[in-house]
């Protein structure tokens, strides 16, 4: 960043779908019986949401949303964080608002006063630890350009957005606007590709974004391969290296690969016990961005991402324990 840019108030500002997770364990047969695509996120309407909820086991509710998970985790690790996303003025909206504020995240977006309820995602966890998400977007579809808090975006070192925003035209417009505001203020823009099927749905838009507007890209193997339509991770990495300044590619149990120009850093996975993979990518990005904006080198960024991911997959839910520890403690 040029020396003319003032120091930012926030290290990270996230923009995403503000969602309450409804999480329950199911067997493999449940996924098959309800025609779900295991491991993916599917958008559903209110009727389908009601049908799936009626069929699913007793659940636990926790605040979720990909970028919101990242923000809550980054704040817990010690970063200064803001979040923009839309809930409704209802009980689940109050739960979401409480949880993100209690995590220490500045959350200025006004709730939707009438209309659709707060979004929820029914997350079904199979015995192998995989999660299959069924998301009713509700009030999230009322997030648009008007909800982009320009002052906050201009005051954040990194504006971080989830690819899921591309499933709604208004959110897609908000994404582009936020990116322009951030760059106009001399800040960085970061994207996570979110889901390989999301990439399939919006490949042309993502390719255009990644080439021209993204400074820091997060993706897992299947997402980056979906973006570049190649089967070999090495090919995808060669492509991304030429197109974004910094990319972190997560590989589940095999750790992650960070590329910046000619530089490549391989990061090991932290040992853990997989219970529920929900939120693994989200909190990896949290650790990475918290360390990056604090001035750590790429190896430390990847390591903090891995440490956070190892914690989150060892239990149900996508938010770190409040007492997980801060960056300095975790990086030793």
- Residues of this chain that bind a copy of itself (CB under 8 A): 24-25, 27, 53-54, 56-63, 72, 90-92, 95, 98-100, 102-103, 117-118, 317, 319, 321-323
Q: Among residues 209 and 318, whose Cβ is nearest to a copy of itself?
A: 318
Residue 75: CB minimum distance to a copy of itself, A? 10
Residues 6+ apart with CB under 8 A from 58: 24
Nearest distance from C-beta of residue 140 to a copy of itself, angstroms = 16
- Chain centroid, CA 127 distance in Å: 24
Query: Which residue in the block uniquely carries the two structure tokens 């009626």?
Result: 54
Minimum separation from the CB atom of position 210 to a copy of itself (A): 32
Tokens encoding 302: 């990847």
> What are the CA-CA distances from residue 48 to residues 30, 72, 130, 198, 332 (Å)?
15, 29, 21, 19, 47
User: 90 or 150: whose CB is closer to a copy of itself?
Assistant: 90
Any residues with CB less than 8 A from the CB of 253 and at least 6 apart, and which?
269, 274
User: Which pair of tokens denotes residue 175?
Assistant: 């994404």
CB of 322 to a copy of itself, least distance (A): 4
Q: DSSP of 102-132, one letter per residue?
A: HTT-B--PPPB-SSSPPEEEEEEE-TTS-EE
Nearest one of 328, 324, 326 to 315, comparing CA atoms: 324
Shortest spacing between CB 187 and a copy of itself, in angstroms: 27
Minimum CB distance to a copy of itself, residue 91 (Å): 4
Provide, rounded to whole angstroms, the least separation between the CB of residue 28 and a copy of itself. 13
Cα–Cα distance measured from residue 82 to residue 159, given in angstroms and rounded to the nearest whole number: 9
Buried b (16+ CB within 10 A) or exposed e, 195-232: bbbbbeebeeebbebbeebbbbbbbbbbbbbbbbeeee
Torsion of CA 113, 175, 293, 156, to 10 degrees: -60
Nearer to a copy of itself, 62 or 109 (CB): 62
């Amino acid at each position: 960043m040029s020396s003319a840019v003032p120091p930012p108030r926030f290290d990270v500002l996230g923009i995403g779908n503000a969602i309450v997770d409804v999480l329950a364990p199911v067997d493999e047969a449940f996924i098959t019986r309800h025609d779900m695509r295991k491991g993916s996120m599917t958008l559903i309407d209110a009727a389908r949401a009601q049908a799936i909820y009626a069929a699913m086991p007793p659940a636990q509710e926790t605040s979720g949303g990909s970028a919101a998970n990242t923000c809550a985790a980054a704040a817990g690790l010690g970063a200064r964080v803001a979040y923009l996303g839309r809930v409704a003025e209802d009980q689940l909206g109050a739960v979401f608002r409480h949880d993100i504020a209690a995590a220490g995240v500045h959350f200025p977006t006004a709730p939707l006063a009438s209309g659709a309820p707060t979004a929820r995602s029914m997350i079904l966890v199979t015995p192998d630890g995989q999660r299959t998400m069924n998301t009713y977007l509700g009030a999230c579809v009322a997030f648009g350009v008007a909800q982009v808090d320009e002052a906050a975006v201009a005051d954040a070192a990194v504006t971080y957005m989830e690819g899921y925003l591309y499933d709604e035209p208004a959110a897609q417009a908000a994404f582009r606007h936020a990116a322009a505001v951030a760059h106009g203020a001399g800040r960085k823009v970061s994207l996570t590709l979110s889901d390989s099927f999301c990439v399939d749905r919006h490949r042309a838009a993502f390719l255009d974004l990644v080439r021209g507007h993204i400074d820091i890209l997060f993706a897992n193997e299947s997402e980056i391969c979906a973006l570049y339509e190649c089967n070999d991770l090495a090919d995808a990495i060669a492509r991304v290296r030429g197109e974004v300044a910094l990319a972190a590619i997560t590989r589940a149990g095999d750790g992650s690969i960070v590329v910046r120009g000619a530089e490549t850093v391989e990061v090991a996975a932290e040992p853990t016990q997989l219970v529920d993979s929900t939120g693994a990518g989200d909190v990896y990005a949290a650790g990475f961005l918290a360390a990056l904006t604090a001035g750590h080198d790429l190896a430390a960024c990847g390591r903090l991402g891995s440490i956070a991911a190892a914690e989150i997959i060892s239990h149900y839910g996508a938010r770190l324990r409040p007492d997980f520890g801060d960056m300095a403690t975790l990086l030793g």
